[in-house]
Every structure is written in C-alpha cells, then in structure tokens.
C-alpha cells in the first residue's frame, strides 16, 4: 500500500517555515509522518498535486501539513477497509478537537464531525463518492485546578488521548500538536496491560502514580542531573544539565539543554540547547532550539529558535473580560474557543525586561523589543530619569532626622 503526500506552498506564521519542517516533540513533522507510515508497512511518496496519482490499487492521500499518530492512522485504514469504499477521515467534535485549535485549521467543520485532508482510496473497481469515517478520539481527561471565577461553571479539562489528528495550518495548531504528543504518552501508559503497570509499580515499590511515572523516564547519555532534582514521565536528551531542586514532569528536554536550580518544567517541550535560568517555570509551552528564558513564569506559549525572554518579561495567556481567546489568521480574528493561550515568538525574537505580550499575539521573526518607559535606558547628568520618579536619599547618612528631599518629592 502507498501513501501520497501532496505538497503545498503553506508557510506557518510567524516562523515562515513549511509545515513539514515544523518541530513536534523535537522532530520534524516530515520525520513523524514517515515513521508512522513505515511502521504500518505503507510506502510514502511526495507529489506536487493529486493529478500525479495514477494508482489503481489501494492507497491513501493526505496533505503535507497533517500530523497524526499511529493509533489514528491504523484505525482509519481498518475501518475504511471494512467499508470497502472511498473514505474521508473525520473526528467527532469534543474536548480533543477543541484543544487542537480546530478553529484555526483549514478543515470542514460539521455539526457531528470535523473532516480532515486524509482520504482512503480502495482498489479501482470499488471507488465511488467518499463517505466519512468518524473516529471518536476521546479517551481520558485530566481536571486542571482552576478557580470558578476564571474557568466558569464547568471544570477545566485537558484531554489525554493517543488518537491524534491535527492539520498544522497555524502556530496554534503547532503548539497543540506538541502538547498533545506528550500527553498522548500518558494515555498510552493508562491503556497499558495490567501486567506492565504491575511491573512498573514493583520497580517503584509503590502504587502512587507519581512514583510509577518516575519509572518511565528516558534519560540520555552524559547528563549532569543534581541528586535533588526530580524527573517523572519525561524524556531527557543527551548532555543535559539539570540543577538542584528542579522538577521536570511530563516533558521533553532536548540535547544539550541547561536547566538552572529550582526550575520547573511541566507538560512542555524544550528543543536542543535551550537554557532555562534558575527559579523559572515553563508550563504547557513549546521552546524551539536555543531558546533562553529568564522569565519567572512562561505559560501556554510558543517560542521560536534563538529566542530570548528577559526577567520581568511576561507572556499573558488569559483575558480579563471573560471572553475566549482570539488569534489572527490571514488578517482576520478567529475565536479559538479556549480560555487560555499564551503568545508566539518568532525565530530570533528578544523580549527585554518589562515587556508584556497579550494572549495569542504572534511576534514576527527577528524583532528585539524593549519597553520605552518601564525600562531605565538613560540617566541625565543631574540624576533625573525620564518617565521615573527619583528620591534623593543622600541626606540620610548625614542626619537621620532630616526630611526627605528629591527632584520629585511630594
């Protein structure tokens, strides 16, 4: 059986990268596509358009920006073969499609299904009008602690599933695919045979789920991990440095990365040679290779390669007006349907101290940004600083009882 991937001229903004070059869990989308198909015994061919297909035998056709897991593709092909008809892959709408940012994907959204650019073609004699194969991707979910005045009346849940299908048409889809990939590992563990889970519990000498997760870590070569650091459910690359008191949970850390002391990385993807300075937290975020963060808290955001985030810079992920997050796509605002989503920094973006980025804002490649007033950038000869109040306290060393004076005293 063959799979034909149809090339497109799409570029994912703000990065300007073709979809197949985008990184998901530190691997190019093209590599993921090829590996999944090869494991299913499917031969892959790249074509410029569907007019190039002259195949009378069974085959599949998919867009070059399609991210999928082995579990999804296997179920789609199996059910299509049972129908003995041309089919289109669709997902049942729900928590999984919502968190994949389906609103920003170029897909066909119906009341009962979301149709993707993935088709099955049976042998020539069986072909006709395509029918949808609707797959329900829902498996597990995890409640994320969040007060009612922020989340609304319903609990905020993150889906855990290994049945994933996402069209990478926008940076939000790229973020979603990265986060979903790591959460899929949790779903696979939860679906594991009881004998395997028992073996992990015996190794952990505990039935506590966190101690069991500690047993599934994958640690690379030549790592320098402080004995007080704690890692669970994560993949650590080669030559990684992790400082004292740091916690890495349900995350991927790329080769050559360095985490300082008391760093927390949770449900995130860090590319090769990333640096997270001491005391910083990265939560549900994606950092491309060589990103550097001194920000105290990085939430649900995407940072391109060679980015730098200073201390006191912040990427907001929540609207104060109670509305759902909107993003710009092709110059038009799109309602994502989610209540929290951080920003996206293009390749080479630097954020200086005091910069605040609104939720779902995408910053173009190469910009180095400093705030005007919050940052002290110049001091006049008489000691005044534009945009700031200065209190002169030199008198304190001469007379404890003297009244305060200064160039802007009340």
Angle of helix 70-83 versus helix 29-39 axis, rounded to 10: 50
Q: What is the pLDDT of residue 403?
A: 43
Distance separating alpha carbons of residues 296 and 407, to the nearest angstrom:
33
Taking CA atoms, 167 is separated from 62, 73, 262, in Å, by 10, 14, 36
Strand residue runs (E) in 73-124: 87-91, 108-109, 114-121
368: Cβ contacts below 8 Å, ≥ 6 apart: 349, 350, 352
- 383: helix, coil or strand? coil
User: Please, what are the domains in the chain?
Assistant: 2-188 (3.90.550.10)
For residues 136, 326, 24, 63, the Cα torsion angle rounded to the nearest 10 degrees is 60
Candidates 311, 264, 306; CA nearest to 284 is 264
pLDDT on residue 171:
98
**Helix residue ranges per DSSP H, 21-89:** 29-39, 70-83
User: CA 221 → CA 218, 239, 245, 269, distances in Å?
Assistant: 10, 6, 21, 19
Q: Give the model's pLDDT for residue 128.
A: 87
pLDDT at 48: 94
Q: Tell me, what's the pLDDT at 393?
A: 56
Half-sphere exposure of 335 (CA within 13 A, CB side): 4
3-state helix, strand, coil in the chain (%, to 5): 20, 30, 50
b/e map of 2-38 (b: 16 or more CB within 10 Å)? bbbbbebebebbbbebbbbebbbbbebbbebbbebbe
10-residue stretch averages of pLDDT, the chain, 410 residues long? 95 97 98 97 95 93 97 98 96 98 97 97 91 97 92 92 98 98 95 93 91 94 98 97 98 98 98 98 98 96 98 92 93 95 97 93 95 74 76 52 42
Distant-in-sequence, close-in-space partners of 247: CB < 8 Å, separation ≥ 6: 229, 230, 231, 263, 264, 265, 266
DSSP 152-182: -SSPPEEEE-S--EEE--SHHHHHHHHHHHH
């Amino acid at each position: 059986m063959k799979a034909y991937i149809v090339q497109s001229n799409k570029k994912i903004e703000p990065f300007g990268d073709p979809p197949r070059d985008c990184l998901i869990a530190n691997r190019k989308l093209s590599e993921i596509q090829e590996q999944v198909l090869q494991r299913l015994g499917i031969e892959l061919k790249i074509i410029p358009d569907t007019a190039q297909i002259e195949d009378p035998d069974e085959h599949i056709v998919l867009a070059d920006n399609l991210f999928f897991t082995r579990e999804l593709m296997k179920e789609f092909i199996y059910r299509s073969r049972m129908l003995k008809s041309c089919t289109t892959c669709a997902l049942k709408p729900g928590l999984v499609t919502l968190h994949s940012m389906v609103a920003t994907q170029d897909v066909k959204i119906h009341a009962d299904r979301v149709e993707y650019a993935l088709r099955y073609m049976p042998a020539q004699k069986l072909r006709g009008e395509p029918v949808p194969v609707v797959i329900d991707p829902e498996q597990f979910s995890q409640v994320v602690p969040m007060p009612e005045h922020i989340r609304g009346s319903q609990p905020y849940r993150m889906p855990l599933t290994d049945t994933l299908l996402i069209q990478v048409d926008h940076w939000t889809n790229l973020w979603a695919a990265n986060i979903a990939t790591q959460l899929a590992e949790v779903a696979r563990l939860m679906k594991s045979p009881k004998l395997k889970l028992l073996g992990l519990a015996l190794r952990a000498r505990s039935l506590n789920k966190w101690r069991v997760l500690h047993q599934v870590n994958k640690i690379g070569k030549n790592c320098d991990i402080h004995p007080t650091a704690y890692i669970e459910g994560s993949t650590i690359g080669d030559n990684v440095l992790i400082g004292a008191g740091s916690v890495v949970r349900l995350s991927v850390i790329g080769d050559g990365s360095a985490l300082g002391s008391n760093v927390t990385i949770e449900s995130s993807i860090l590319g090769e040679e990333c640096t997270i300075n001491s005391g910083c937290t990265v939560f549900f975020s994606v950092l491309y290779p060589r990103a550097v963060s001194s920000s105290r808290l990085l939430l649900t955001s995407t940072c391109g390669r060679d980015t730098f985030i200073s201390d006191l810079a912040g990427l907001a992920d929540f609207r104060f007006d109670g509305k759902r997050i909107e993003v710009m796509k092709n110059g038009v605002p799109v309602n994502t349907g989610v209540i929290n989503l951080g920003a996206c920094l293009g390749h080479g973006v630097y954020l200086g101290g005091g910069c605040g980025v609104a939720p779902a804002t995408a910053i173009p490649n190469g910009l180095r940004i400093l705030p005007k007033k919050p940052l002290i950038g110049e001091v006049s000869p008489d000691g005044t600083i534009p945009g700031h109040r200065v209190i002169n306290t030199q008198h304190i060393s001469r007379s404890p009882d003297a009244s305060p004076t200064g160039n802007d005293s009340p």
